[in-house]
Amino acid sequence: MVHPAVYVLIPVLLACFRKYREYTWGRCRDASSLEGKVFLVTGASSGIGLETARALARRRARVILACRDMGRAQEAVRDIRSRDIAGELIPMQLDLASLKSIRQFTDSVLKDFPKIHVLINNAGVYFPLSAEQKTTDGFEIHLGVNHLGHFLLTNLLLPKLKESAPSRVVIVTSSLYENSVDKFIPTAMPPGYSSSKCANVLFCKELAKRADGSGVSVFAVCPGFTYTRLFRSRTLRWYHYILLAPVAFIFMRTASQGAQTVLHCATSEEVNGETGLIYRDCRRYKPKKILKAEVAEELWTVSERMVKLPPS
């Protein structure tokens, strides 16, 4: 027979382990004022993007919330302003699944904002491969939104970022990218979420090389296993929640916790002088697999052609 104390001891031990995990995840320690700085956050209507925008507004930044759904963007602004009213919040419509929308968005940004100090490429999608989802321009949905959309957006805003130097580009990726390193071939553009995250890291490396000396620093960030709306397209049954609850309690971060490394790379003086690095838990992440420079360069060339940018 199980001793009654066990029913108390197990939850206590789990809670202690959870606290230990939270400690190891790290936290952005920089709390300095960001008044006068302009941040552009994609996918800012929910999850990590929303919490990033909230934290930046709290520090008096001017924040552009670039979102596909303007209704959700305005709802996010109301949510932030209900508690944090220090910074300026500007919701703008951006559909990363449409090259036309991206170009229209950047035209407006370049016209209306003299400076862009930090671009945070946070938005992302996940669909089961069986869904065979495509973007407006016919690209596989993960590579189209998670990589190609942000690739075009960043390149169109890069001259403004250089004018605003010192400036930063923060690309939200995932350690799942390592599942695709060995089989990633730019000319084949393999489908899937992990492949798009691999493309994110390769993009970070190549952009850092090409922007070297311009005053634009580039970082790839793995936010960790975080509870967001990313997997909203995946249908879960009631028993999935029961089975996953213990794992989620121990390992899953809140959106605010997931945003910490994004904020660290976007605002902290600790990363001054660094570029082309991957960060996780507010510190440098040492990849388990090496990314080849020639693959990053080839991906850049292929991506330029796909989004109809002139060769650089």
Which residues are known catalytic residues? 193
Asked if 15 and 93 count as a contact pair (C-beta separation under 8 A), the reply is no
Distance (Å, whole) CA 255 – CA 162:
30
Question: What is the C-alpha end-to-end distance of the chain, expressed in Å?
Answer: 72
Here the tokens at position 70 are 């303007």
DSSP letters spanning 237-278 = -HHHHHHHHHHHHHHPBPHHHHTHHHHHHHH-GGGTT--SEE
Residue among 230, 231, 226 nearest 251 (CA): 226
> Which letter does DSSP use for residue 235 in this model?
-
CA dihedral for 238, 243, 244, 249, sign (positive or negative): positive
Amino acid type, 300: W
Integer CA distances (angstroms), 275 to 25, 117, 226, 257, 284, in order: 21, 15, 25, 23, 11
Asked if 41 and 63 count as a contact pair (C-beta separation under 8 A), the reply is yes
Residue among 160, 145, 139, 157 nearest 95 (CA): 145
* Residues whose CB is less than 8 angstroms from the CB of residue 1 and which lie 6 or more positions away in sequence, other chains included: none
